[in-house]
Amino acid sequence: MSKSQFLKNFRLPNVFILLIIVFISCALLICINFFTIKILSANRAYVNGESHYSKGQKDASRHLITYLYTKEPNQWKLYTEELKVPQGDGIARKTLLAVGDNKVARQGFTIGRNHKDDLDDLVWLFVNFKNISFLAKAIHEWEEGDNLIHELFVIGTQIDAKIKYDALTATDQQKFLSQISNISDKLTINERNFSNTLGEGTRKIKSLLIITNIVFILIIILSVCTYYSIMVKRLLASKKEIEIKNEDLLVVNRELDRFVYSASHDLRSPITSLKGLIEITQLEDDIDQIKDYLRLMHQSLAKQDQFINDIIDYSKNKRKQVIIEPVSLRELFEEAISQLMHIENANRITFTQEILVDQIQSDGLRLKIIISNLISNAIKYADNSKLEMFISIKTYFSDGCNKIEVADNGIGINDEFKDSIFEMYFGTNKNKGSGLGLYIVKEAVENIKGNIAVFSESTIGSKFIVTIPNSHGI
């Protein structure tokens, strides 16, 4: 696999997942902070309401004691007005427990001197969190306080009745004073417990908020860092891929320049030769000499025809998609041999075939190009000095791959040329071919994920072995 293919197949984690994590974390962080602030604001409103509750109860007790000893109606009036403050909060508590948020509960909080802007927070916290431990405990303290307020109300009613009927004695005054003081002491403890419970809940919420913020901030930081790291890696991978593609493009451009230059030269050369031969033939009267000139013309045209076929094969190999399908190697060999018999001395060559593997799964076009060029080369570079010329064709299965072997006893390849025979326009004898044949073979073999090896000895012969994967993955 090439570097560019490796980079193309290499996949990094999906960055959209990280962006979703960051988005969700930010949204949750905003929601958590919003509701936490709302809870803390409601707690503050309850603490503030408790101060009005406590002040109203204490003022009511003070006015009731004054009324107990002075019997002034104004003190009774002040007592009832101040007692309405904790009583209003008590009405709100009972209503919220029974039916939830409604107009009566809000009126109760208003009577309890809570600010109108705090009503929504007071009701929201009670309705939604009344079963949470710290708030449930505070509501319990609140309920006990309301019971004590009711006791204070009953005592006030008894005092008022005795005063109005002029039945209040010094003993009654002492008894009522003791009762009022006892209730005030209990309410002081109760109110302190209520405030402490809300304070404890506020501190827990604060600690939980800090921990939650730290966790989500860490998640966001880690996600952003991971996202940044992935994007940097992708940029580096993309840069590397672009560099590789640029390198490949430079190679392709060099090959194209070389191809255009050589192709134009090789296409013009036979035409120039033909024009010269035609001019000479026109001046010649000897029939035998004219026949020689015609033979040379035919060779020139055959060379140009071969070169054009090579160009067509080159184009097909470069542009056509690889299509994997059942292919008969026997049919490809027979077709190639029959089409190449026109080459000089082809009829003197003995062809032997040992087809141990016929049907394979591969690309028919590439295999046709490979087989045709290998047999064509074996014919062109046959050793005419030998009495017996042969080309041996074998197919077999080895090491989990299909093998195609084309061997001959031709002129062979010199050692100094073996490393260059698959290069474009390389040829040991320019008159024998276009110099594209083995280059195209190499390209075609690589397109079907195979490889090609050559074994050759000068004057002895050559052997080409093409290895084709048994199962070709696309």
Amino acid at 56: G
The DSSP-derived string for 374-442 is HHHHHHHT--TTSS-EEEEEEEEEETTEEEEEEEE-SS---GGGTTTTTSTT--S-TTT--S-HHHHHH
Q: Establish if 292 belongs to a structural domain.
A: no
Q: Which of 207, 231, 255 is the last residue of a domain?
A: 231
The per-residue pLDDT of the chain, averaged, comes to 84
pLDDT at 8: 43
Supply the CATH number for residue 379's domain: 3.30.565.10
254-264 residue pLDDT tens? 766 655 655 55
**Does residue 202 sit in the same domain as residue 343?**
no
Domain extent for 362: 323-469
Q: Establish if 263 belongs to a structural domain.
A: no
Query: SS3 of 89, please?
Result: helix
Contact indicator for 265, 425 with CB cutoff of 8 Å: no
d(CA 91, CA 106): 9
**Alpha carbon of 349 to those of 220, 379, 405: distances in Å?**
77, 8, 17
The structure tokens 């929504």 sit at: 120
Q: In the structure, what pLDDT confidence band is assigned to residue 270 with cuts at 50, 70 and 90?
A: low
Q: Establish if 333 belongs to a structural domain.
A: yes
**Does residue 49 sit in the same domain as residue 168?**
yes
Within 8 A by CB and 6+ apart from 314, the residues are: 259, 436, 439, 440, 443
**Does residue 328 sit in the same domain as residue 227?**
no
The structure tokens 């003070």 sit at: 62
**Does residue 222 sit in the same domain as residue 371?**
no
Nearest 5°: phi and psi at 468? Answer: -120, 130
First-to-last CA distance in the chain? 12
**Does residue 84 sit in the same domain as residue 221?**
yes
Q: Establish if 474 belongs to a structural domain.
A: no
Q: Establish if 305 belongs to a structural domain.
A: no
d(CA 379, CA 347): 10
Is pLDDT of 339 > 90? Answer: no
**Does residue 224 sit in the same domain as residue 373?**
no
Overall domain count for the chain: 2
**Does residue 327 sit in the same domain as residue 454?**
yes
pLDDT at 78: 95
**Does residue 210 sit in the same domain as residue 333?**
no
Minimum mean pLDDT range among 76-80, 176-180, 206-210: 206-210
d(CA 145, CA 113): 17
**Does residue 223 sit in the same domain as residue 329?**
no
Q: What is the DSSP letter of 462?
A: E
Q: Establish if 212 belongs to a structural domain.
A: yes
Within 8 A by CB and 6+ apart from 102, the residues are: 95
Amino acid at 264: S
pLDDT at 343: 80
Q: Establish if 249 belongs to a structural domain.
A: no
Contact indicator for 383, 341 with CB cutoff of 8 Å: no
357-409 residue pLDDT tens? 999 998 888 888 899 889 988 998 899 888 899 999 999 999 889 999 999 99
d(CA 176, CA 168): 10
pTM: 0.50
Who has greater pLDDT, 265 or 228? Answer: 228
Within 8 A by CB and 6+ apart from 358, the residues are: 328, 329, 330, 395
Is pLDDT of 442 > 60? Answer: yes
d(CA 91, CA 104): 8
Q: Establish if 34 belongs to a structural domain.
A: yes
- Sheet of 451-457: strand order equals 349-355, 389-398, 401-408, 461-469, 451-457
Q: How far does CA 168 lie from the centroid of its chain?
A: 88
Output helix, strand, coil percentages for the chain, rounded to the nearest 5. 70, 10, 20
Q: Which of 190, 214, 231 is the last residue of a domain?
A: 231
**Does residue 40 sit in the same domain as residue 182?**
yes
Is pLDDT of 11 > 80? Answer: no
**Does residue 58 sit in the same domain as residue 189?**
yes
**Does residue 219 sit in the same domain as residue 336?**
no
Who has greater pLDDT, 195 or 2? Answer: 195
pLDDT at 7: 43
Q: Which of 231, 250, 279 is the last residue of a domain?
A: 231
d(CA 268, CA 166): 143
